[in-house]
């Protein structure tokens, strides 16, 4: 990463180097888990708007390719972690591991829920409008054979499917 502002936006200035881009995606996943009402979409919109505003100087300094590359990397990291995290891939307080098929379905449903809340939050900036595509690309890079599971999960969420379903088409 060559941009100091982009590195600071992603990892902060404290020694622990928390990944703020990963944290942003995680906050949208959490919003998606509880998404029921329009107020949930408004809350997600505030999260998105705050993130975009906070990271705007990094985007300006580093440029869109580097900035969106870091967001994509964080999405890929999130999905990669879900595949390997023992707590995420188990039930009954970690006593029983779920099958790979169940795990992939769980990840796809979570990805689709996050997509729905992102899309339903009525994204207004060009930066925010790129988020659904980056989320899907991160998912597909971490789970290369996961398009069918994500397509099935999106089929239950028409607004999200209409917005990003074409990204799952191999000819797109």
Q: How many domains does the chain have?
A: 1
Whole domain around residue 119: which residue ranges? 4-168
Within 13 Å of residue 100, how many CA atoms lie on the same side as its CB?
3
The pLDDT score that the predictor gives to residue 171 is 55
- What average pLDDT does range 132-138 have in this prediction? 97
Q: Is the pLDDT score of 103 beyond 60? A: yes
Percent over 90 (pLDDT), the chain? 70
Give the closest residue to 117 by CA, choosing from 31, 48, 59, 47.
31
Predicted structure pTM score: 0.91
Q: Specify the higher pLDDT residue, 127 or 135.
A: 135
């Amino acid at each position: 990463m060559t941009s100091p502002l982009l590195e600071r936006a992603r990892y902060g200035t404290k020694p622990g180097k928390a990944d703020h881009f990963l944290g942003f995606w995680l906050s949208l996943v959490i919003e998606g888990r509880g998404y029921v009402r329009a107020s949930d979409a408004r809350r997600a919109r505030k999260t998105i708007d705050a993130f975009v505003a906070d990271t705007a100087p990094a985007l300006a300094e580093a440029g869109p390719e580097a900035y969106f590359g870091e967001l994509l990397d964080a999405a890929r990291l999130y999905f990669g972690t879900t595949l390997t995290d023992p707590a995420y891939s188990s039930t009954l307080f970690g006593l029983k591991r779920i099958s790979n098929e169940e795990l992939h379905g769980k990840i796809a449903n979570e990805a689709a829920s996050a997509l729905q809340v992102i899309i339903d939050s009525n994204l207004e900036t060009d930066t925010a409008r790129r988020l659904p595509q980056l989320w899907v690309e991160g998912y597909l890079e971490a789970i290369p054979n996961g398009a069918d599971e994500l397509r099935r999960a999106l089929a239950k969420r028409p607004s999200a499917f209409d917005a990003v379903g074409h990204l799952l088409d191999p000819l797109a």
